[in-house]
Structures are given as structure tokens and as C-alpha cells.
Structure 1
Amino acid sequence: MRSLRNQLVLALCVLVSVVGVVQGISSYQLSRAGMSALLDLRLEQAATRLYSSGLADSLPTIAARGSQPEGDIVVTIWKEGVTSPYRSTEPSLALPRDAEPGFATRSVNGENWRIYTLREPSMVIQVAQRSRVRHELTEARSMNTLWPMIVLVPLVWIAVLLVVRRALRRLTSLGAQVQAIDPTHFKTLSTSGVPTEIRPFIASINMMIERLAQSIETERKFIADAAHELRTPITALQLQADNLQPHIAPGNRERFGELQSGITRSGRLIAQLLRLARADAALQPDTLTRVDVSKVVVEVVAEVLPIAMKRGIDIGAEEMTSAHVRANEADIGIALRNLVSNAIRYTPDGGKVDLSVHLRDSMVWIEVVDTGPGIDEALLPRVFDRFFRANTQTEGSGLGLSIVQAIVNRYDGMASLRNRDDGQTGIVASVGFIAVP
């Protein structure tokens, strides 16, 4: 019931149902009252017609007892000075002669009767009808007034559901747009076709998106500027260290080597920050080309092959389906290079790294499978976070997979990392890009 649509539908359906029930009861009661008044009018008109037209004398003097159907009215005529009925359509029915003029309900022969008495100087005319018959007629006619309501209320329920769904369709579309927002795709929401009541809310979201985009852009520029500014002094330090190396005393060479390693790590970190800033930058359509994914895989394998051979790691490609994507070839290479470098870094000497390219669901998938130790399942959701390292014992900056995720987001692709489930330890790293002919 937290759904706004469900709440609106339920509230409107309950309201319609209450109105329908009240209307049905009102119609039923009004119909009963109207039908009863109509039957009374029938009795009164019959008595008046008998007197005014002189039809009273045309009634049979002695009618057959029990000859009238139960649904008919009964007429009894009394004359002054005569104790027995002058005329009667049902002699066995002893209507009360002393009844007051007008309408009365009396019990006669164990049954309730509705009686109309017309008193004139020369005669008394009584017209009666069984109350049971009147009740049956009234109920039958009154129930007919309920059928339209019984049919219409469910139809109104359906109409309410359709109207609410249509009214909230725009909100569903806006929700999809909000879900599509990520650090590489900041786009304000359109207010076209949005109800007036929701526009202030949409305007607030757009202001938040603009502030967030500005904040991300500021952070991106800071990272890029800082990396650029730091690259020059780090390069100078590296050159000075290389020039100083021949003059280092033998006793200080170990500590000097640690200094060089630190400078090298700093240089790598700065290079990774630059790559991350470029990956986060807005995509330029004029830089996109038709990229042969298999060719990029071969080039990356060729680059890391010397490192793999030095450690005895068997690296190769199992399945190489011919596939193409529309992207910047350098971006695809960087993403794949980071995945392969991670696989080699965490795979023990003598291990194995396999690459494959295949098509699935209009996507080109590149998989890198290693025989490393794998990652704790609890840590897998965080592997794409910036500066997060699942294994702190191995050297790294914690930015490699973040760069992969940023590149994948630029092209509306997907990236995943999972432990192998084929009985061996290791990681299956996958990136998917939209395939093009």
C-alpha cells in the first residue's frame, strides 16, 4: 500500500462504492415508496370510478367464493340500512364496514389488507388489496432499480484504475529517467506533460541534478588538474633518482630502491587518476569509431605477455567471436588492460588467465577468467568503488576497476565481477558493450 497508485485506486474505489451503496439504498427506498403510492392511487381511482360512473350496480350480486386470483383487488359495496354487502367480488372476505374514510391496513381472515374506504351518502365503497401482494410487487420493481448500480460500480472501478494508471504514467516515465542518471549522464527532467502539482517537485529534482553535476564536474576537474600538476614533479623526481643512482653508497642502495619504488607507485597512481578523469569526462561523439573488439584483445594480450611469461602464467584466448562496438578504441583498450592486469596481478605464478569474446543479447561480452584466490563474497559489491582494494597485501591503487566502470558507463554498457563456480578458485571479470554491425 506504499504505492501512490494503489492508494489512489483504493481510495477512489471505496468512495465510488460508498456513493453507489448510498445511491442504491436511496433508489430502492424511493422506488418502494413510489410503488406503494402508485398502488394506493390505483385503489383510490377504482373506488372513485365505481361511484362516479355508476359501475357499482354492475357488479355481481352473488359472486363465486374464491373466484378471484390473489393478485386482484377486492371490491365491497355497502348500502345504507343493509347489514350485508350490497355487492362484493369476494363475499368470503368480510371487510370492516366501520373503517375510517381513506386508507387503512387491517387484518382480515388472518391476512393483512390495504383498504381504501370511500363514504358517500348513499353507499360505502371499499377497495382492498392483499399486503403480501403489494409487498411482492414493490420488491420486484424496487430490486430492478439496483441492477444498474450493481453493474456500473465494477465498471467505474475499472475506469478508476485505467484513469489513475494513465495519470501516473508520466511519473513512471520520470522515474525511469531518474534511474538512468549516473555520473556520466546528467540530464534534467522534462516538465512537458507533467501535472501542475508535480512541477515544483520536478523543479527541485532538476536543481539537485544541476548541483550534483556541478559538484561531480568540480571533483573531476580537481582530479585532472591535480594529476597534471603532480605528474611534472614526480617525473622530475624520477629523473633525479635515476641520475643519482650511480652515486649511491652500497649501504644505502636498499633504502634508495624503496625510494624509487615509492616514486614509481606515485607515478602510477597519478597516471590512473588521469585515466579516471578522462573516463569520467563527457563523451565526444566525433571520437567514436567502429572498433574490432577481437583486435583490441590481441593487442592487450601482446602487451602483458612478457610479464605473464616471466611469472609462468599461461595467458591466451579461448573463444574469439568477431564483434564490433562503436566507441573510442583507447577506452576499450584501457578497460580491458585494467581487467587483464588485475588478473595477472592476483594470479599466482604458474597460473592461468583466459580471455574470450562472444555475443549475447545484442551485447559484445569480454570475459577475463583467472585462477587467483578469488574475492570474499561480502566484498564483491564494493569492488568497483574508488580506492577500494579487496586484497591489501597486493600492490595497487584501487582505481583500476573504477576506471573500467566509468568507461562502461560512458557507453551504456555493463560490468561485473564474480567468483568462479566451476570448482576452481578465481575471478570472472566481464564487460559488455552494445554491438554494432
Structure 2
Amino acid sequence: MPMPKIRSLRNQLVLALCVLVSVVGVVQGVSSWQLSKAGMSALLDLRLEQVATRLYHSGLADSLPTTPARGSQPERDIYLVVWKDGIETPYRSTDPSLALPRDADPGFTTAMVNGESWRIFTLREPMMVVQVAQRSRVRHELAQATSLNTLWPMIVLVPLVWIAVLLVVRRALRRLTRLGAQVQAIDMTHFDQLSTSGVPTEIRPFIVSINKMIERLEQSIEGERKFISDAAHELRTPLTALQLQADNLQPHIAPGNQERFRELQAGIRRSGRLIAQLLRLARADAAVKADTVMRVDVAAVVVDVVAEVLPIAMQRGIDIGADEMTSAYVRANDADLGIALRNLVSNAIRYTPDGGKVDLSVQQRDGMVWIEVVDTGPGIDEALLPRVFDRFFRANLQIEGSGLGLSIVLAIVNRYGGSASLRNRTDGQSGIVATIGFPAVP
């Protein structure tokens, strides 16, 4: 089944409004063009009528030349013809070659004269007929030029309105973008409610629903944390008592049952470690308390962790050290940072064969402090890498572990707005590169 296309709401709004503005602009432009042409035509008609009226009433008809030169008048001018009763030919004319129809109806008419279309105004008065004419082609050119001038404002304004629409829509949706960023920042350690201040009325119910969902999610996760913490606390006391009882009972176990008894003790110790890991996970998932956050020297934490695991590494002949130790600081709880790094280093030592090598480095770049742990172990199947931070997941079942170490690392990193990753080495050697990063502080 094909996936539906995800379309941008902003792009849809911008496109719809721009199309609407364009349609309105085109309709308005065409209307203005037509009205301008009609207005120009009416203005030219008024001019013909005024010339004919003035020619008759002011007695200027007699001042027209009796025998003008043929074709001497510019074709864009208006042409005048005066007829008098009893005279078959024009009494006066600006161009004798123009034979206007003397019997034309009074007022405005359009007629073909000498193979051209003419607009003619005929004024019939006693003893005299005055005709004023203009080429239809000239009238059309004048109206066209004037009408086109009315389109320029529309041609300029429509693109400006497009830009205005884009800016207005972008500004209107900027609040949604910020809300989206806030929603994206929600995780197991950050359950901040979305603010409804400045949110459009139509979107407010949606924001309220998201806030209720965040509240339910926070309650659910808090219930899970409390259950894990309470269960670990309740189990730790009887397990500790069971461990003491087993230690006290060991001298009284028959020699033939000592091996089985040691297996029992190992099982008790594994259960104790699992409970300790569950308690650490519950603490890592809890919200950060402001009074526990301080400026932590990352290099000092790395040195302390290396010193703590050094005896185990030396016992197995593993070379553990630091390649690069940049002086860098982060704002965190030093105990949390130590737990996260200790889990990574412990994992590296556990999976590195005897005589192998584990290298640590501290680098600062792009506003982050990166701690890298590189081992020479067997690596992890690429298909399993996306699951290594899942709780209780173990990539290698042959090696003892609870499957919670990397989950604790991820919870601590998320707690302080950092990131964690695990990948296989790509330098020709087998092994894992584990990286955690925290925001740097001066």
C-alpha cells in the first residue's frame, strides 16, 4: 500500500493564497483593462462631439480651407467635413479625398470609408451638416496604450503580495515550529508542558490535548520508575541477608557439594548486581535536581574510572590508557558521569580478550565534549547495533551481564542533553567504538 504524501501546511497555505491573489489580480487586471478601453473610447467620442459642436456654434466652419492639399493631414488627427444644403460636394473639408457618408444618422456611427473603418460623429443642423471622423485603428491604438498602462501596477503588486503572503504565513506558523521543537525535546527526563500563550484559538485544543498526553506519559513512566526502584529496594535486603547466610553456611557444606554451593553464591551475586543496576537505572531516569549539577572536569573523571578498573585490566593483561585528554568541562553530576563512563569501560574490558587493548580519549568540538572508548574485542553484528541501548538486551549471551549497562549510559546522557553511540571499528581492526557526548561549558 503506497504511503500518503506528507505535504507542508505552510506550502499549501502559501500556494492557495498565491493562487487566489493571482486569480483576483488577473480578474482585476482584465476588468481594469476593459474599463480603461471603454473609458478611452468614450473620451475620444466626447472629443469628436465637442469639436463638431464648437465648429458649428462658434462659426469656425467657414475658416476651414476650401481646397486643402490631399493627404496633407496626419492620419492620427481627426478629420472635419462640412456640408451645406444645395451643395452636392463638401462645403469645407480638411481632406477632400475623404468621402464621408453625408446621409449618416445623427450621432455616432462606424462606417467603412476608402477601405478603412472610421468612427464618425454627425451633427445635423438647419442648412448645415458637420461631420467629425477618426480612424478606428488610431482609436484602438490609443485605447490599447492607455489600457496597458493600467496593468503595470497589477503586474508589480501581485509578486509583492506573493512575498507578503509568504512572510505572513511563515510568521503565523513560526509559533507552531517552536511548539514542534518543544515536543521533539520531550523524553523520559523532560516532560515540560507546552505553553498556550500566543497560540491561535484554532490550535489551542490540539495543544491542550498534547499537554494531557504528556501528563499521562509522565505519570506512566514515573509509575514504572517507582516500581523498579521499589522492587529493587525490596529485593536488595533479602538478597543481602541471603548472601550473608550463604557465606556463614559455606564452612558447613560437605566437600562434595562445594562446587554446587559456589554456583549458588554466584547466582546470588548476579542477582545482587542486577538489582544494583536496576537502582542505577531508576536514578538515571529520574529528573535532574538543580542542586546536584556542578561543573565537572571530564579528564579527572576519566582518570578516576581508569584507576578503578586498572586492577581488573592488569589481571587479564589488557592495556588500558588514554590517547588524547583535552581539558574540558561539562555541567552534570560527577557521580552520573562516572557511572556512565564506568559502564562503557567495564563493557570494553569484559568483551576484550586477554592481552587486548582499551583506549580512552576526550575531545571538544562543536560545543560538545566527546568521550570515546575503543576496544579490540570481537565487535557486534551490524544488525544488532540498533538494539544495543535497549533494556535487558545482550548482544553476546556467552558473556555474563544484565543487559542494563548501556541503557543506564543512554539514560544518563539523555538526562543532560547529550548523545551516545556505538559502532564497529573501521580502521582494519575488530572492536567497538563507544562514544558519549555532553554539552561543553567554559
Query: Shorter-chain TM-score: which interval?
Result: over 0.9
- For 1:296-307, list aligned pairs within 5 A: 296-307=301-312
Partner of 2:225: 220
Partner of 2:269: 264
Q: Post-superposition shift, 1:152?
A: 0.3
- For 1:51-130, list aligned pairs within 5 A: 51-130=56-135
Q: How many residues align?
A: 437
Partner of 2:346: 341
Query: Partner of 1:208: helix, strand, or coil?
Result: helix
Per-residue CA distance 1:74-95 (angstroms, 9 max, x = gap): 1111111211111111100111
Q: Post-superposition shift, 1:292?
A: 2.3
Among 406, 420, 431, the residue aligned to 1:401? 406
- For 1:224-239, list aligned pairs within 5 A: 224-239=229-244
Query: Partner of 2:191: helix, strand, or coil?
Result: coil
Among 324, 327, 330, the residue aligned to 1:322? 327
- For 1:273-292, list aligned pairs within 5 A: 273-292=278-297
TM normalised by structure 1 equals 0.97
Matched, 1:5 2:2: no
Per-residue CA distance 1:105-129 (angstroms, 9 max, x = gap): 1111111111111111211111110
Query: Partner of 1:146: helix, strand, or coil?
Result: helix
Distance 1:427 1:87 in 2: 110
Per-residue CA distance 1:144-191 (angstroms, 9 max, x = gap): 000000000000000001111111111111111111111111100111
Query: Partner of 2:371: helix, strand, or coil?
Result: strand
Per-residue CA distance 1:261-314 (angstroms, 9 max, x = gap): 221111111000000011111211212233222222122112212221222211
Matched, 1:358 2:366: no
Distance 1:349 1:224 in 2: 36
Matched, 1:195 2:205: no
Q: Which moved more, 1:22-31 or 1:104-113?
A: 104-113
Distance 2:330 2:416 in 1: 10
Among 154, 157, 160, the residue aligned to 1:152? 157
Partner of 1:416: 421
Matched, 1:22 2:27: yes
Specify the code of the residue in structure 1 equivalent to 2:180. Answer: G
Where does structure 1 differ by over 6 angstroms across 4 or more consecutive aligned residues?
none
Gap regions ≥5 residues in structure 1: none
Q: Which moved more, 1:142-151 or 1:242-251?
A: 242-251
Distance 2:414 2:177 in 1: 23
Distance 2:221 2:90 in 1: 107
Distance 1:104 1:10 in 2: 49
Among 380, 383, 406, the residue aligned to 1:378? 383
Partner of 2:3: none
Distance 1:342 1:418 in 2: 14
Q: Which moved more, 1:28-37 or 1:349-358?
A: 349-358
State the superposition RMSD in angstroms.
1.3
Distance 2:318 2:310 in 1: 9
Q: Post-superposition shift, 1:392?
A: 2.2
Among 237, 245, 249, the residue aligned to 1:244? 249
Gap regions ≥5 residues in structure 2: 1-5
Partner of 1:206: 211
Distance 1:89 1:322 in 2: 102
Distance 1:18 1:325 in 2: 58
Percent of residue pairs bearing the same amino acid type: 84
Distance 2:49 2:191 in 1: 83
